[in-house]
C-alpha cells in the first residue's frame, strides 16, 4: 500500500499535472451523458483524421445496467474514468503510464504490474483497438489501447488511449473494500456524494423508466442526429448520437431489448457514428487541419531557433 493515502481529488490533480507535463491539455468533462470516456468527442472525434491531439480529462461514465441501488460495494450506475489520449501514440507511452502510477505512490517494485492482453472493442461506435488491461496485484486498474479503427475509419496515425478506473484505483490506494468508503477530498466520503444518486438512478433505470417514452426518445434523437449530419453540423449531431447511445443503455437495463433487436439498435448507432466521423474529418479538412498546421509550424519554429 502507498504510505500516505491520497484522496480521489488528489489523485486526479496528480494525474492531470503528470499528463500535462507530457503535453496533454487538461479538458473539462464533456456535458452529455455517456457510457465511457472514449465516447467524449475529445477522444472519439479527435481520434480520426491526421491531426495530432493530446488530452486528459475525468469522465463520469453511466452504465445503467451496472446500477445496484448503491448496495454493491463495487458496482455503480455511474463511475468515473480518467482518460488520456495522445495521437500519434508516443514511443514511450507504456513507460509514461508506469511513471504516472509512481506519481500516485504505486512503486512497481512493491507490486505486481502486468499488461494482460485485452483487445478493446466498442461495436456500437465502430471502434476497435489492440492493447491490454493493466493488472495491479491482480486487479484491473486501467485499460490501455492503441486505437486501430474509430467510427469504422482507420486511425492513422495511431492514437493511444489510457483509461484509469478512478474508483478501482482509489479503492486500492486508500485500501477500502467498498467504493462508498472512499474519501473524495477534504474529508468528504464518496457515499455522501453519490450513494443517494446511485439508488435513485437504479430505481429509475430498473423500475420507473417509461419504455414507450424511451423508444420515442431514441427515434427523435436518431432523426435529429441524421438531420444535423446532413447539415454538416458535427458537434450537435454527435451530441444526439451520444443521447441515442445512452437511451439505448437505459432500454437495455430495463430488459426491453431482445437479443435480435439489440443488434439492430447497435447497427443504427454505429451507422451514425461512422457518418459523423467522416463528416468531422471533412470539416477539419476544409479548415486545413488546423492542429496539423500548428504542430508543423511549431516544429519548424523550433528548427529555426
Residues lying near another protein in the complex (CB under 8 A): 1, 72-75, 88-91, 93-94, 98, 108-117, 119, 130, 132, 136-139, 146, 148, 155-158, 160, 172, 177, 258-260
Q: Closest distance between another protein and the C-beta of residue 188, in Å? A: 24
What is the helix (H) or strand (E) element at residue 188, kind and residue range? strand 188-189
For CA atoms 115, 25, 281, 246, the dihedral sign is positive
Complex with another protein: residue 138 or 288, whichever CB lies closer: 138
Complex with another protein: residue 230 or 298, whichever CB lies closer: 298
Q: Are strands 53-62 and 25-26 parallel, antiparallel or unpaired?
A: parallel
Complex with another protein: residue 43 or 240, whichever CB lies closer: 43
- Distance CA(135)–CA(144), nearest Å, equals 11
Q: Closest distance between another protein and the C-beta of residue 153, in Å? A: 13
Complex with another protein: residue 227 or 261, whichever CB lies closer: 261
Q: Closest distance between another protein and the C-beta of residue 28, in Å? A: 26
Complex with another protein: residue 26 or 98, whichever CB lies closer: 98
- Distance CA(213)–CA(167), nearest Å, equals 32
Residue 271: count other Cβ atoms within 10 Å of its Cβ. Answer: 15
Complex with another protein: residue 156 or 230, whichever CB lies closer: 156
User: E strands along 2-76, which residues?
Assistant: 25-26, 53-62
Q: Closest distance between another protein and the C-beta of residue 31, in Å? A: 30
Q: Are strands 53-62 and 78-87 parallel, antiparallel or unpaired?
A: antiparallel
228 contacts 219 by C-beta, under 8 angstroms: no
- Distance CA(150)–CA(232), nearest Å, equals 19
- Distance CA(201)–CA(191), nearest Å, equals 14
Question: The C-alpha cell of 184 is what?
Answer: 473524495
Complex with another protein: residue 260 or 304, whichever CB lies closer: 260
Q: Closest distance between another protein and the C-beta of residue 301, in Å? A: 22
Q: Closest distance between another protein and the C-beta of residue 87, in Å? A: 8
Picking from 109, 102, 98, the residue whose alpha carbon sits closest to that of residue 132 is: 98
The number of angstroms, rounded, from the C-alpha of 269 to the middle of its chain's C-alpha atoms is 17
Q: Closest distance between another protein and the C-beta of residue 267, in Å? A: 13
Alpha-carbon torsion, ordered 87, 90, 94, 95, to 10 deg: -140
Amino acid at each position: 500500500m502507498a504510505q500516505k493515502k491520497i484522496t480521489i481529488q488528489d489523485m486526479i490533480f496528480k494525474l492531470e499535472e503528470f499528463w500535462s507535463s507530457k503535453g496533454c491539455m487538461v479538458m473539462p468533462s464533456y456535458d452529455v451523458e455517456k457510457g465511457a470516456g472514449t465516447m467524449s468527442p475529445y477522444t472519439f472525434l479527435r481520434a480520426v483524421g491526421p491531426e495530432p491531439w493530446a488530452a486528459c480529462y475525468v469522465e463520469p461514465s453511466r452504465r445503467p445496467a451496472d446500477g445496484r441501488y448503491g448496495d454493491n460495494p463495487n458496482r455503480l450506475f455511474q463511475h468515473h474514468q480518467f482518460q488520456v489520449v495522445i495521437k500519434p501514440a508516443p514511443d514511450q507511452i507504456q513507460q509514461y503510464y508506469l511513471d504516472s502510477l509512481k506519481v500516485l505512490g504505486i512503486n512497481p517494485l512493491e507490486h505486481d504490474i502486468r499488461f494482460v492482453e485485452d483487445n478493446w472493442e466498442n461495436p456500437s461506435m465502430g471502434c476497435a483497438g489492440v492493447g491490454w488491461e493493466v493488472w495491479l496485484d491482480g486487479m484491473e486498474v486501467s485499460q490501455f489501447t492503441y486505437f486501430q479503427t474509430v467510427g469504422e475509419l482507420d486511425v492513422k496515425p495511431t492514437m493511444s488511449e489510457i483509461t484509469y478506473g478512478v474508483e478501482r484505483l482509489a479503492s486500492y490506494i486508500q485500501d477500502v473494500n467498498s467504493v462508498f468508503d472512499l474519501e473524495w477530498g477534504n474529508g468528504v466520503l464518496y457515499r455522501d456524494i453519490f450513494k443517494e444518486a446511485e439508488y435513485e438512478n437504479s430505481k429509475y433505470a430498473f423500475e420507473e423508466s417509461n419504455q414507450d417514452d424511451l423508444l420515442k426518445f431514441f427515434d427523435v434523437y436518431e432523426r435529429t442526429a441524421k438531420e444535423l449530419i446532413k447539415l454538416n453540423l458535427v458537434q450537435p449531431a454527435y451530441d444526439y448520437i451520444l443521447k441515442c447511445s445512452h437511451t439505448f443503455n437505459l432500454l437495455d437495463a430495463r430488459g426491453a431489448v431482445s437479443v435480435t433487436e439489440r443488434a439492430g439498435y447497435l447497427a443504427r448507432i454505429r451507422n451514425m457514428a461512422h457518418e459523423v466521423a467522416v463528416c468531422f474529418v471533412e470539416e477539419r479538412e476544409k479548415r486545413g487541419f488546423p492542429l496539423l498546421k500548428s504542430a508543423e509550424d511549431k516544429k519548424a519554429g523550433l528548427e529555426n531557433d
